[in-house]
Amino acid sequence: MKKDMHIHVHHVTRVEGHGNITVDVKNGKVEKCEWAVPESPRFFEAMVRGRHYSEVARITSRICGICSVGHTLASVKASEAALGIEVTAQTKKLRRLLKHAENFDSHVLHVYILVAPDLLGVKSVFPLVATHGEVVKRALRLKRLGHEWGSLIGGRTTHPTTVLPGGFSKVPTVKELQELKEKMVAAVPDLVETLNTVEALAPKVPAFSRPTEYIAVASREEYGLYDGEVSCLLPDGNRKVYPASEYRKVTNEYVVAQSTAKYAKHRLDSYAAGALARFNNNYEMLHPEAKKVAARFGLKPICTNPYMNSVAQVIEVVNDVYCSIGIIDDLLSSGIKDEALVKPTKYSKGASAVEVPRGILFHEYEYDRDGMCVAGNCIIPTNQNHANIQRDFDKLLPELLDANKSEKEIELAMEMLVRAYDPCISCSTHYVDVKFVNR
């Protein structure tokens, strides 16, 4: 029977920021199927103008409360490119360690707190305290590890203070690194249980496929997170690689009427960024323990099911821990020491690419001869994913209608798809809102 349907999800929940879904179906025909972002612009690129290079990362870190490590690293790397600064090997190792901390922390939050409720049939994490108390406790233990890990290296996890252009203002001691490694090793049983939980829930991940282009940082030195080239992988395996300085050839941003956020495209009419894009581009560079997890979940590159982004995040969580244990061992064997900040050798223009949990992030700045910023550009991964989410919707909705799914089932499937991308649409507010009951 041809049916009518109207779905309007105002502010999809369990995503970071605000996005709306609208679906109109008349007599079985799709009249509207739209992913819209109503957030207002935040003008960070204007805020950095006229600021000294030493201040810029402090400002742009505030773009995001979850990806603040990534924004800080992208910012200092772009500034260093503009200022002719080559940081030391120790700085690179510590930054990689910090980048893994952010990835771990964010993925634990997303998989356990934002995605798991969908797969367990509840609206939020709160009901799970009663029904799956041990799972929630485990999530909070792992979250705590991520916080301690990031705080040790970055001074604090949210908006790190120790990361500066040219190096670190403070480095951890040998004892602190040894203790951090002990905490990571002690977390392995929780990781094993995480995998068991995800394996039990994996059959509930929707089966859907839409090949697209997958864009991520890629490197022969590491599973691309902190540094590398921009790798653009088509579903047939064709790969095109750019230096970070040519990022505009990749993003090709454009404006659409339905969204205040810009869209992006490269060789196809949209592309995907995020854990699945990283997995597809960097599979060979995964730690062997993470590869075992991928095999256990049957995930192989090139995976074209966007819902599997959450599974790719779990693989990355394991990768983060094992790679970081290796980095700590390396730091301990080479000896960690205080180093002076590397000074600028020029004042010009520079760009960087860093992976944040939600995908590839670009920063670019230009400095005058006094080291003051005259221009900035930041392109966040969630913006790069908006067009891809829309294209997924365009394919998914007819398939769901053909399968005679109910309005509620369709709504859930579309919300889950948005959540799978782990979008971080913009920051909102957190004020307390209370009334007195016992005073």
Q: What is the DSSP string of 365-377?
A: EEE-TTSBEEEEE
Cβ closer to another protein: 62 or 291? 62
Cβ closer to another protein: 167 or 172? 172
Least distance in angstroms from the C-beta of 296 to another protein = 28
Contact between 21 and 8 under an 8 Å Cβ cutoff? The reply is yes
Element (H, E) at 50: none
Element (H, E) at 7: strand 5-9
Q: Which residues pair with 24 in a beta bridge?
A: 6, 32
Contact between 426 and 17 under an 8 Å Cβ cutoff? The reply is yes
Cβ closer to another protein: 58 or 248? 58
Least distance in angstroms from the C-beta of 44 to another protein = 8
CB within 8 A of 3, min separation 6: which ones?
25, 27, 28, 401
Least distance in angstroms from the C-beta of 33 to another protein = 24
Least distance in angstroms from the C-beta of 185 to another protein = 11
Least distance in angstroms from the C-beta of 407 to another protein = 20
Cβ closer to another protein: 220 or 430? 430
Cβ closer to another protein: 369 or 430? 430
Cβ closer to another protein: 78 or 128? 128
Least distance in angstroms from the C-beta of 81 to another protein = 26
Least distance in angstroms from the C-beta of 118 to another protein = 11
CB within 8 A of 143, min separation 6: which ones?
105, 108, 109, 112
Nearest CA among 394, 382, 366, 395 for reference residue 421:
382
Nearest CA among 367, 336, 337 for reference residue 350:
367
Round to whole Å and give the CA distance between 341 and 79.
13
Cβ closer to another protein: 126 or 254? 126
CB within 8 A of 15, min separation 6: which ones?
114, 418, 419, 422, 423, 424, 425
Least distance in angstroms from the C-beta of 14 to another protein = 5
Q: Is 427 left (phi over 0), alpha (psi -120 to 50) or beta?
A: beta
Least distance in angstroms from the C-beta of 229 to another protein = 30
Round to whole Å and give the CA distance between 142 and 317.
10
Nearest CA among 125, 119, 198 for reference residue 413:
119
> Which three-class secondary structure state does DSSP give residue 95?
helix
Cβ closer to another protein: 157 or 259? 157
Cβ closer to another protein: 189 or 298? 189
Cβ closer to another protein: 80 or 422? 422
Least distance in angstroms from the C-beta of 3 to another protein = 29
- The token pair at 63 is 């773009």
Beta strands in 219-315 (DSSP E): 229-233, 239-242, 271-272
Cβ closer to another protein: 19 or 166? 19
Least distance in angstroms from the C-beta of 23 to another protein = 21
Element (H, E) at 32: strand 29-36
Round to whole Å and give the CA distance between 201 and 194.
11
Chain contacts with another protein (rule: CB under 8 A): 13-17, 40, 42, 47, 62, 65-66, 68, 109, 113-114, 117, 123-126, 129, 133, 136-137, 140, 143-144, 147-148, 151-152, 156-159, 176, 179, 182-183, 186, 424, 427-439
